[in-house]
C-alpha cells in the first residue's frame, strides 16, 4: 500500500522525537569540544582536547568501563540462565502455575532505586537480616564496604530486579512455540534433556538472542542501583561508566569533558552491541 496519508501516521511521532533529541545530541557534540566547567561556564572551542585527555590521561574512565562490562555480562548471563530455567519450569504443568508466574514477574514491576533502598537495609552490615542470620555461623561479611563483595552485592540486586524481564520474554517465547517438534521428539523417545538440547533451545535461539541483547543494552545503563546502594564505593569499587560520567558532569560540573565521555561511551556501546549481536547469532544459531 502506498498513499500520501502515510506521512500523517509517521511524522507526528518522528518529528516529536527528532525535535526533542536534535538539540541534546547536537549540543553534546558541540559541548564536547569546549572546556565548559563550573569555573568557566562558556562555550569556547578547544578542539579535541577533551578526547585527547580521555584517551591518554583517564584510567578511571576505562576502569569504570571494564567494571561495567564485567557487571553487565555476568548479571545478564545469570539472568538468562535463571530466567530460562524458571520459564521452562512454569511453562509445563506445575502446582500453582499462575501464582508462580505472577510472583516471578513482580520484581521487574518495582522501582529499582526504591527496592535498592530496601536492599541497603537488607544488607546492612550490623542491623540487616542477612548478617543477623550469618552471625549464627560467626560470619559478618562486609556487603557494602568491601571492595570485592560490594560488586557481588550489586550483582545480587541486579539479578533480583531483572531476571523477571528475561523470564517474561523467554516464557512468552516458549508459549508461542509450535507443538509439532515436541510431539516428534516425544515420538522419537527423546528425554527432557535431549528435547531441550535438540528442540527447545534451537527453537528459542532467535528469542534468546533478542532477549540477551535487550537486557545487555538496559544493563549497560546501570547507575540508579549503584548510586543508592554504594554510591560507587567503596572508593571506586562499584563505579560504572554512567556513574562516572554522572560524577564528572553533574557533581564536578565538568560539562565539556563529560560530554566527550558521553559520546565516546555511546560510540563504544554501539560498536560493542553490533559485535555482540553478531557473535550471539553465530554461537546460538548453528547449522542455519
Partner 1 sequence: MRVLYTSLKYLAVVLWSTFVIAPFLWAVSTSFKDFQSVTNGATYIPWVDFEPNLEGWRDLWKSPAQGGVDIVEPFFNSVFVTASGSLISIILGTLAAYALSRFTFKAGFIRNGDITFFFISQRIMPPVVLAIPFFIMLGKFSLLDTLAGLIIVYIVLLMPIAVWIMVDFFNKVPVEIDETALIDGCNPLQVFYKVVLPNSIPGIIVAGMFCMIFGWTDFFFSFILTFTEVQLLPVAIVALNSSITPWWSLSAAALVSVAPLVLVAFIVERYLSKGNLSGALK
Partner 2 sequence: MSLIASNLSFKPGNEWHLDNVCFEMSKGQIYTILGRTLAGKTTLLKTLAGLISPDEGTLTLDDRDFGSIPVWKREVAMVYQQFINYPHLSVYENVAFPLKQRRMQSDQIKARVMKALQQVGLDGFENRKIQALSGGQQQRVALARSLVKEASVILLDEPLVNLDYKLREQLREEFRNIFSSEASKDSILIYSSTDPVEAMQLGGQILVMDEGRILQQGTSKEVYENPNCTKVAQITNDPAMNLFEGRVENGRIILSSEIDLELPQHCKGLATGSYIFGMRAAGITLNSTGFPFSVELSEISGSETFLHIRHEMIGVVGLLDSVQNFNTGEVVRVQFDTLQLYVFDQNEQLVSSPYRGLE
The answer to whether residue 283 forms part of the interface with partner 1 (CB under 8 A) is no
Contacts with 225 (C-beta within 8 Å, 6 or more apart), sequence order: 112, 113, 116, 154, 157, 158, 161
The answer to whether residue 252 forms part of the interface with partner 1 (CB under 8 A) is no
Among 73, 78, 108, 149, binds partner 1 (CB under 8 A): 108
Q: Which is nearer to partner 2, 2 or 126 (CB)?
A: 2
Least distance (Å) between residue 152 CB and partner 1 = 15
Number of residues engaging partner 2 in binding (CB under 8 A):
3
Alpha helices in 123-200 (DSSP H): 129-134, 147-175, 180-187, 192-195
Query: Dihedral sign, CA of 82, 277, 68, 221?
Result: negative
Q: Which is nearer to partner 2, 4 or 136 (CB)?
A: 4
The answer to whether residue 73 forms part of the interface with partner 1 (CB under 8 A) is no
Residues in region 153-212 near partner 1 by CB under 8 A: 160, 168-169, 171-173, 175-176, 192, 207, 210
- For 79, the grid coordinates are 539472568
Stretch that binds partner 1, among 21-29, 52-60, 179-187, 278-286 (CB under 8 A): 21-29
Radius of gyration of the chain (CA): 23
Alpha helices in 33-58 (DSSP H): 49-56
Residues in region 2-21 near partner 2 by CB under 8 A: 2-3
The option from partner 2, partner 1, none interacting with 268 (CB < 5 to 8 A, set by class) reads none
Number of residues engaging partner 1 in binding (CB under 8 A):
92
146: alpha, beta or left? (left if phi > 0; alpha if psi -120 to 50): beta
Burial class (CB in 10 A: 0-12, 13-18, 19+), 64: buried
Helices (H) and strands (E) in the chain, counts: 13, 0
Least distance (Å) between residue 174 CB and partner 2 = 25
Compute the distance between CA of residue 155 and CA of residue 112 in angstroms, rounded to an integer: 13
Stretch that binds partner 2, among 1-9, 44-52, 182-190, 279-287 (CB under 8 A): 1-9
User: Which residue reads 534451537 in cell numbers?
Assistant: 202
What letter would DSSP give residue 74? H
The answer to whether residue 287 forms part of the interface with partner 1 (CB under 8 A) is no
Compute the distance between CA of residue 121 and CA of residue 138 in angstroms, rounded to an integer: 20
Stretch that binds partner 1, among 45-53, 120-128, 140-148, 196-204 (CB under 8 A): 120-128
Q: Which is nearer to partner 2, 3 or 137 (CB)?
A: 3
Summarize as ranges the residues that interact with partner 2 (CB under 8 A).
1-3
Amino acid at each position: 500500500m502506498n498513499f500520501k496519508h502515510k506521512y500523517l501516521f509517521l511524522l507526528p511521532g518522528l518529528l516529536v522525537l527528532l525535535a526533542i533529541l536534535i538539540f541534546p545530541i547536537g549540543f553534546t557534540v558541540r559541548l564536547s569540544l569546549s572546556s565548559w566547567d563550573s569555573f568557566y561556564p562558556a562555550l569556547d572551542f578547544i578542539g579535541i582536547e577533551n578526547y585527547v585527555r580521555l584517551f591518554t590521561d583517564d584510567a578511571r574512565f576505562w576502569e569504570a568501563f571494564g567494571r561495567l562490562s564485567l557487571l553487565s555480562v555476568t548479571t545478564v548471563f545469570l539472568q538468562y540462565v535463571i530466567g530460562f530455567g524458571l520459564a521452562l519450569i512454569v511453562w509445563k504443568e506445575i502446582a500453582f502455575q499462575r501464582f508462580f508466574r505472577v510472583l516471578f514477574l513482580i520484581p521487574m514491576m518495582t522501582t529499582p532505586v526504591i527496592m535498592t533502598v530496601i536492599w541497603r537495609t537488607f544488607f546492612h552490615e550490623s542491623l540487616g537480616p542477612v548478617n543477623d542470620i550469618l552471625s549464627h555461623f560467626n560470619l559478618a561479611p562486609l556487603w557494602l564496604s568491601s571492595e570485592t563483595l560490594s560488586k557481588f552485592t550489586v550483582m545480587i540486586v541486579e539479578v533480583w530486579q531483572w531476571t523477571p524481564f528475561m523470564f517474561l520474554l523467554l516464557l512468552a517465547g516458549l508459549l508461542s512455540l509450535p507443538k509439532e517438534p515436541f510431539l516428534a521428539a516425544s515420538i522419537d523417545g527423546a528425554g527432557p534433556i535431549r528435547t531441550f538440547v535438540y528442540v527447545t533451545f534451537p527453537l528459542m535461539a532467535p528469542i534468546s538472542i533478542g532477549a540477551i541483547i535487550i537486557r545487555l543494552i538496559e544493563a549497560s545503563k546501570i547507575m540508579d542501583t549503584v548510586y543508592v546502594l554504594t554510591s560507587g564505593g567503596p572508593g571506586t569499587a562499584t563505579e560504572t561508566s554512567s556513574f562516572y560520567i554522572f560524577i564528572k558532569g553533574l557533581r564536578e560540573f565538568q560539562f565539556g569533558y563529560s560530554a566527550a565521555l558521553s559520546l565516546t561511551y555511546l560510540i563504544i556501546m554501539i560498536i560493542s552491541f553490533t559485535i555482540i549481536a553478531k557473535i550471539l547469532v553465530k554461537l546460538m544459531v548453528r547449522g542455519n
